[in-house]
């Protein structure tokens, strides 16, 4: 059997998302079966370092601790590891050169290269990323490159602090003299509504002025009646410029009506409470978030369908409290699901704390016998990427110091009694306690001041382990209790459903569409596309009802333009005209059919913004946020693979490296090879290919 090259072995490791230990075990298994096909680990590491050298050499990736807001609700601050690329231009140029080698960049220097900057929070991590868009017609999540990332809130304050070092270079990239190998560059800003609002200093969709680009009031959208909502029918809705945004903020800043609270006074000045934190030159280059527009519109129409089903079911039940009870049950069910998520997160944190205590116990046992070399081995075994930090290594004056020179970024804490600095690890502080002490939520008094000695350390660890076990049992019981409550709420909801709602849910299951329970019962993008493709079948539950034709008509109109909004190719003039006509038709039909329903911001952006952007740039799908949303799943998979890495700095670097390596890997290796001959299949025969050829067909045959 021919041995694999280091690059092929790295392809296997990257495509299968294997950790270093998993890959080592795979090599060992093959070696023990006398299949010595894998190169040495050092050769694979050298190939990995070669392929990702641009991250250090050109991009200058670094991770530093900064004080950020941990949670948008609690507004608590804490130290957070923030990944940044010091040389953003070098990073972009390296990606550009890679695309050029693949033939995805036109050789004509007159062609314009598009740079799409975006950001979003998925899971616990906020990510800022860019795409270099040339002439490629197929874009994947691996064309999205992270240039900043942190674990914390996605509030505007955090975004402003993280983006601050990039402001100068972002202005430079948008200057007339900037070139990528002779190509002019056009910069776009994309992302969902929340990210765009934060970047431009806007309060959001629920504010008095819900739109960034358009000077439209919320009461205009809520009290529209049957009047068509199109640019021709609403000439008073004016398009803003970047200068307007700055003027509105300055007017808001000068307002003293509410004591200089720009969030309160913003409703008088377009709801702009801050300057733009991303220096985009023109609002024309802000991409309408078509994916989130589709999600909002499909959900809006589906909820109208569901409300009508429940209304009819209630009339049949002849119980005036039926609907109210159902809504109360859904509210409580949603609250219990959120509570379950928080409990499971807490249980996971307790598990990590338990692992930390076992690690401390191993270290203490070695320290008590003077075996410091074994501590180094314990650290290296628990963190494959650990590096010796001799220059910054310093022992503390605790009861016993068992920190190794291989430990990175060890936290120090000041004892309030003896005023001596101690390692959090040597004081047996779990990660959660270290965070609370760092936020001044808990006082710190060292073990020495509490009267403990080295002989007491193992007993203290064992006592903490016992406390953690009890707490884990308590939280685990709460998790089971909450899951049981969720099941009961679901059972009640199923029993409370009328015949039409049960039938509607059966239809969704039959087309394999599900509502995301932890995200406000919304549909994901692919499920929205299925609903649009099978809208008549979905709406058939109300066939014959007055609302049936209205919802079917609206879904049909939107479904006709949906493919044009997501194609990665440039649109023809006829297609652009079709987009405009259909968007305006939707803006005419919705208020006519549902005059008592508010026109949402997403409907407004579809009607006003999408046609203008398509007309100006001849496309919108090339800059859609689909790939950025897919990045969440890819990064979360990397984070799960690296769950055993406790060092936040090292973990963020490994996430970025793993994402880039997977983008460079040959992912076609995991695609099954076709074996059936289509020619024979069409003739009612079943023939398998041999080396790509069918033995029963004289000519080269198509495959399946």
Domains of the chain: 6-49 (no CATH), 57-189 (no CATH), 195-223+242-279 (no CATH), 290-333+498-617 (no CATH), 343-473 (3.30.40.10), 672-704 (no CATH)
Q: Is the pLDDT of residue 703 over 50?
A: no
Q: What is the pLDDT of residue 565?
A: 93
Count Cβ atoms below 10 Å from residue 369 Cβ, excluding itself: 8
Asked if residue 611 lies in contact with residue 580, where contact means CB atoms within 8 angstroms, the answer is yes
Q: Is the pLDDT of residue 317 over 70?
A: no
Q: What is the pLDDT of residue 346?
A: 83
Q: Give 349's contacts (C-beta < 8 A, 6+ positions apart).
A: 431, 432
Look up tokens 């939707």; give the residue.
Answer: 586
* CA 102 from centroid of its chain's CA atoms: 28
Helix locations, 567-625, DSSP H:
573-593, 601-617
Q: What percent of the chain has pLDDT over 90?
A: 35
- With the CA atoms of 233, 235, 236 and 237 taken in that order, what torsion angle do they form, in degrees rounded to the nearest 10? 90
Q: What is the pLDDT of residue 242?
A: 92
Beta strands 77-85; 184-189: pairing state: unpaired
Count Cβ atoms below 10 Å from residue 353 Cβ, excluding itself: 19
Q: What is the pLDDT of residue 518?
A: 46
Q: What mean pLDDT do residues 596-600 have?
A: 93
Q: What mean pLDDT do residues 328-357 have?
A: 81
Q: In the chain, what are the helix, strand and coil shares in percent, each to the nearest 5?
A: 55, 10, 35
Q: What is the pLDDT of residue 260?
A: 59
Q: What is the pLDDT of residue 395?
A: 81
Q: What percent of the chain has pLDDT over 70?
A: 90
| pLDDT digits 0-9 by tens, 480-489 | 988 888 888 7
- Give the residue with greater pLDDT, 359 vs 692: 359
Say which DSSP state 420 is in.
-
Q: Is the pLDDT of residue 410 over 80?
A: no
- Sheet of strand 112-122: strand arrangement: 61-69, 77-85, 145-151, 125-133, 112-122, 184-189
Q: Is the pLDDT of residue 679 over 50?
A: yes
Helix locations, 110-237, DSSP H:
156-163, 167-173, 193-199, 218-222
pLDDT band, very low/low/confident/very high, at 327 (cuts 50, 70, 90): confident
Q: What is the pLDDT of residue 701?
A: 45
How many Cα atoms sit within 13 Å of 21 on the Cβ side?
Answer: 11
Q: Is the pLDDT of residue 444 over 70?
A: yes
Q: What is the pLDDT of residue 187?
A: 94
| pLDDT digits 0-9 by tens, 621-648 | 999 998 888 898 889 888 888 877 777 8
Q: What mean pLDDT do residues 377-395 have?
A: 60
Comparing 209-223, 326-340, 409-423, the range with the smallest average pLDDT is 326-340
d(CA 11, CA 661): 8
Q: Is the pLDDT of residue 256 over 60?
A: no
Question: pTM of the full predicted structure?
Answer: 0.78
Q: What is the mean pLDDT of the chain?
A: 85
378, 381, 380, 375: which is closest to 395 by C-alpha?
A: 375
DSSP 3-state assignment of 361? helix
Q: Give the CA angle between residues 582, 587, 593 to the nearest 5°.
A: 110
pLDDT band, very low/low/confident/very high, at 392 (cuts 50, 70, 90): low
| pLDDT digits 0-9 by tens, 456-469 | 888 888 888 888 88
- Give the residue with greater pLDDT, 494 vs 156: 156
Q: Is the pLDDT of residue 384 over 60?
A: no
Sequential DSSP letters for 222-237:
HT-TTS--STTT-TT-
Q: Is the pLDDT of residue 590 over 60?
A: yes
Q: Is the pLDDT of residue 371 over 80?
A: no
Q: What is the pLDDT of residue 403?
A: 81
Q: What is the pLDDT of residue 323?
A: 64
CA dihedral (492, 493, 494, 497) positive or negative:
positive
Q: What mean pLDDT do residues 11-34 have?
A: 84
Q: What mean pLDDT do residues 379-383 have?
A: 60
Look up tokens 């159902």; give the residue.
Answer: 326
In the structure encoding, which two tokens stand for residue 608, read together? 């006003």
- Give the residue with greater pLDDT, 577 vs 142: 577
Q: Is the pLDDT of residue 21 over 50?
A: yes
- Give the residue with greater pLDDT, 381 vs 287: 287
Q: What is the pLDDT of residue 322?
A: 61
Q: What mean pLDDT do residues 252-258 have?
A: 68
- Give the residue with greater pLDDT, 587 vs 107: 587
691, 702, 703, 635: which is closest to 663 by C-alpha?
A: 635
Q: What is the pLDDT of residue 551?
A: 95
In the structure encoding, which two tokens stand for residue 117, read together? 């900057």
Q: What is the pLDDT of residue 170?
A: 94
Q: What mean pLDDT do residues 209-237 have?
A: 92
| pLDDT digits 0-9 by tens, 127-136 | 999 999 887 6
141, 181, 148, 184: which is closest to 163 by C-alpha?
A: 148
Q: What is the pLDDT of residue 186?
A: 93
Say which DSSP state 70 is in.
S
| pLDDT digits 0-9 by tens, 643-667 | 777 778 888 998 999 899 888 887 7
Q: Give 100's contacts (C-beta < 8 A, 6+ positions apart).
A: 134, 181
Q: Is the pLDDT of residue 106 over 90?
A: no
In the structure encoding, which two tokens stand for residue 36, read together? 């010595």
CA distances from 496 to 223, 302, 330, 366, 501 (A): 33, 19, 11, 62, 10
């Amino acid at each position: 059997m021919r041995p694999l090259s280091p690059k092929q072995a790295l392809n296997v490791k990257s495509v299968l998302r294997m950790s270093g230990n998993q890959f080592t075990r795979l090599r060992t298994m093959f070696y023990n079966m006398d299949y010595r096909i894998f190169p040495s680990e050092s050769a694979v590491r050298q190939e990995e370092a070669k392929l990702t050298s641009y991250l250090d050499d050109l991009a200058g990736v670094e991770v530093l601790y900064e004080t950020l807001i941990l949670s948008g609700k609690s507004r608590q601050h804490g130290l957070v590891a923030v990944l940044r690329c010091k040389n953003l231009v070098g990073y972009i140029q390296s990606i550009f050169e890679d695309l050029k080698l693949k033939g995805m960049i036109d050789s004509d220097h007159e062609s314009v290269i598009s740079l799409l900057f975006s950001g979003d929070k998925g899971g616990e991590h906020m990510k800022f990323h860019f795409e270099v868009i040339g002439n490629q017609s197929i874009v994947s999540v691996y064309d999205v490159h992270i240039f900043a990332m942190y674990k914390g809130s996605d509030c505007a304050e955090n975004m402003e602090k993280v983006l601050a070092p990039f402001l100068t270079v972002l202005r430079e990239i948008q200057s007339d003299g900037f070139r990528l190998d002779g190509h002019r560059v056009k910069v776009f800003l994309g992302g969902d509504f929340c990210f765009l609002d934060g970047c431009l200093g806007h309060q959001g969709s629920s504010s008095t002025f819900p739109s960034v680009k358009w000077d439209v009031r919320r009461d205009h959208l809520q009290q529209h009646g049957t009047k068509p909502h199109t640019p021709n029918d609403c000439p008073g809705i004016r398009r803003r410029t970047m200068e307007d945004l700055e003027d509105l903020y300055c007017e808001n800043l000068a307002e003293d009506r509410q004591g200089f609270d720009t969030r309160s006074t913003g409703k008088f000045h377009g709801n702009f409470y801050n300057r733009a934190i991303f220096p985009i030159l023109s609002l024309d280059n802000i991409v309408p978030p078509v994916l989130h527009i589709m999600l909002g519109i499909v959900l809006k129409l589906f909820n109208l369908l569901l409300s009508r089903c429940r209304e009819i079911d209630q009339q049949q039940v002849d119980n005036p409290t039926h609907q109210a009870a159902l809504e109360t049950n859904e509210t409580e069910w949603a609250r219990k699901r959120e509570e379950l998520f928080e409990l499971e997160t807490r249980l996971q944190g307790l598990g990590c704390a338990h692992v930390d205590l076992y690690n401390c116990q191993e270290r203490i046992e070695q320290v008590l016998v003077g075996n410091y070399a074994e501590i180094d081995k314990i650290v290296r075994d628990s963190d494959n990427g650990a590096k010796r930090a001799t220059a910054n290594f310093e022992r503390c004056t605790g009861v016993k110091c068992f920190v190794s020179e291989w430990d990175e970024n060890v936290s120090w804490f000041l004892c309030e009694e003896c005023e001596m600095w101690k390692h959090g690890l040597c004081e047996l502080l779990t990660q959660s306690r270290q965070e609370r002490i760092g936020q001044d939520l808990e006082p710190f008094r060292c073990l020495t001041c509490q009267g403990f000695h080295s002989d007491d350390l193992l007993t203290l660890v064992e006592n903490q382990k016992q406390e953690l076990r009890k707490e884990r049992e308590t939280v685990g019981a709460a998790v089971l209790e909450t899951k049981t409550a969720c099941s009961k709420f679901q059972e009640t909801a199923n029993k409370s459903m009328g015949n039409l709602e049960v039938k509607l849910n059966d239809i969704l299951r039959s087309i394999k569409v599900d509502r995301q329970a932890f995200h406000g019962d919304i549909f994901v993008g692919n499920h929205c596309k299925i609903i649009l493709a099978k809208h008549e079948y979905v709406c058939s539950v109300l066939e014959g009802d007055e609302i049936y034709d209205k919802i079917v008509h609206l879904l049909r109109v939107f479904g006709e333009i949906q493919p044009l909004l997501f194609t990665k190719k440039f649109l023809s003039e006829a297609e652009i005209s079709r987009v405009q006509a259909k968007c305006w038709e939707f803006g005419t039909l919705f208020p006519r059919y549902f005059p008592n329903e508010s026109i949402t911001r997403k409907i407004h952006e579809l009607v006003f913004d999408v046609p203008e952007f398509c007309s100006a740039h001849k496309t919108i799908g090339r800059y859609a946020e689909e790939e950025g949303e897919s990045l969440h799943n890819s990064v979360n998979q990397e984070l799960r693979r690296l769950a055993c890495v406790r060092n936040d700095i090292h973990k963020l670097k490994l996430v970025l490296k793993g994402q880039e390596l997977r983008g460079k890997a040959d992912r076609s290796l995991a695609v099954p090879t076709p074996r059936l001959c289509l020619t024979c299949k069409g003739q009612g025969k079943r023939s398998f290919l041999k080396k790509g050829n069918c033995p029963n067909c004289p000519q080269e045959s198509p495959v399946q």
